[in-house]
Amino acid sequence: MQALVDSRARDGYALLSVLAGREGLGEPVTHAMHLLATVLGQDLETGTDGLLRIARKVATDRVISTVDPQARHGHKTSHRGFDGYKAHIAIDPDSEIITATAVTAGNTGDAQPAPDLIADLTQPATDTTTAAGEGEAAVYGDSAYGAGEVLAHLHDHDIDIKTKVQPPNAPAGTFTKDQFTINLSQATVTCPNGTTITIRPVVGHDRHAGRADFGKACTGCPLREQCTASKTGRHITISRGETHLTAARTRQQDPVWQADYRATRPKVERKLAHLIRRRHGGRRARMRGRERISADFTLLAAATNLARLATLGLTGHTTGWTPNPA
């Protein structure tokens, strides 16, 4: 088997060397050449015996299909994965009408399409469009959308944040991040034992803005076993959205907030159930390529909206919707 993999891989590299530098190959051949180079580069490594073999690793943004190169591995949970794409929707919770859809690769974080899903709330009103609702706009979402960048986006547009945020966690029951006192104005972190460390800036990272390393302060600390098993001591990472995450965790402890969230959030889950009850076009894509799948999913959402409008008994006019007296 290893000899077969090595033989086919060397054939691939030989083909690439023949095509390298040639012009006028045409888009199909160029696309196939780039795909071959990607697959060879991400899936193969040279063993100690000099043979090319399948690498025991997962490449970043790994291409998983040669017939649908935009598809990716995704995870519903840590133990449940899938191959393909993710579908996202936004709905109006009062009418349960789908207001926006998005399709992303399976490995894309749920927070990435959030700004586009709520664009109708964040775009300035014009002569022909008005802001949604007469009161303050609000956005509800589960913890998958409770990322710092999403919370900052909502805050910047004066939108009431009803997006849930995951509580901090730590391995083996050790102290969680919220048991440390983080003072962003002073750029310090104080541990449960009372030791204060200055936050060191992190440069060039998309999500992390700083880090507090307790290091030697953990040596001999009476609370060490409750805090960390690391030989280098405990460290606390400060995200770029730390202020918004901390405020959101405090806000969601309010019983009024919790009751409102529980009453509203399940509506989008019910709408997702309406969409994916059809095996093909809902839970399973009927075609290949993100653009085609996105168009098909939008069409499915439009059909679901028509069924909802019929249930509401509404009739469309050039000036809006009116109840159907029939």
| pLDDT tens digits for range 180-207 | 999 988 999 999 999 999 999 888 777 7
In a shared domain, residues 11 and 76: no
In a shared domain, residues 261 and 158: yes
Contact 189/181 with Cβ under 8 angstroms? yes
Indicate whether 285 belongs to any domain.
yes
Indicate whether 91 belongs to any domain.
yes
Burial class (CB in 10 A: 0-12, 13-18, 19+), 158: exposed
Contact 166/145 with Cβ under 8 angstroms? no
In a shared domain, residues 288 and 151: yes
Round to whole Å and give the CA distance between 188 and 168. 18
Indicate whether 65 belongs to any domain.
no
In a shared domain, residues 182 and 159: no
If we measure between CA atoms, which residue out of 30, 154, 5 comes closest to residue 90? 154
In a shared domain, residues 139 and 25: no
pTM: predicted TM-score of the whole model, two decimal places: 0.77
In a shared domain, residues 157 and 268: yes
In a shared domain, residues 235 and 287: no
Indicate whether 59 belongs to any domain.
no
The total of structural domains in the chain comes to 3
The last residue of a domain, from among 216, 239, 262: 239
In a shared domain, residues 175 and 159: no
Ramachandran region, residue 313 (left: φ > 0; alpha: ψ -120 to 50; beta: rest) = left
Helix spans in 62-215 (H): 114-117, 119-122, 148-156
Round to whole Å and give the CA distance between 289 and 301. 18
In a shared domain, residues 15 and 158: no
Indicate whether 319 belongs to any domain.
yes
In a shared domain, residues 192 and 209: yes
- The string of DSSP codes covering 264-310 is HTHHHHHHHHHHHTSTBTTTB-SSSSHHHHHHHHHHHHHHHHHHHHH
Indicate whether 6 belongs to any domain.
yes
pLDDT tens per residue across all 326 residues of the chain: 778 888 888 888 888 888 888 888 888 888 898 888 888 888 888 888 888 888 877 778 888 888 899 999 888 777 888 899 999 999 999 888 999 999 999 999 888 999 999 998 987 655 433 334 455 789 999 888 888 889 999 999 999 999 999 888 888 889 999 899 999 889 999 999 999 999 998 887 777 889 999 999 999 899 999 999 899 999 999 988 888 998 999 999 999 999 999 999 888 888 888 888 766 667 788 889 999 999 999 999 998 898 888 888 877 777 776 766 55
Residue 259 phi, psi dihedral angles, 5° rounding? -65, -40
In a shared domain, residues 82 and 149: yes
Indicate whether 64 belongs to any domain.
no
In a shared domain, residues 257 and 143: yes
CB count within 10 Å of CB 270 equals: 10
Helix spans in the chain (H): 2-19, 27-43, 114-117, 119-122, 148-156, 224-227, 242-251, 255-264, 266-276, 290-312
Domain that holds residue 223: 171-239
Indicate whether 245 belongs to any domain.
no
